[in-house]
Amino acid sequence: MPVMHFRVRWPDQTETRCYSPSLVVADFLTPGTAYPLYDFTARTREALGIASERVRAKYGFACSQAMDQLAEIEARAALFAGAAGATVTVVAFD
pLDDT tens-digit readout, 32-75: 999 999 999 999 999 999 999 999 999 999 899 999 999 999 99
**pLDDT tier for residue 2 given thresholds of 50, 70 and 90:** confident
Name the residue ranges covered by the structural domains of the chain.
Answer: 4-21+30-81
Q: Tell me if 93 sits within 8 A of 2, measured CB to CB.
A: no
How crowded is residue 10: how many other Cβ atoms within 10 Å of its Cβ? 19
Mean pLDDT of the chain: 95
**pLDDT in the model for residue 66:** 94
Flag whether pLDDT at 22 surpasses 80.
yes
User: φ and ψ at 28, to 5 degrees?
Assistant: -115, -25
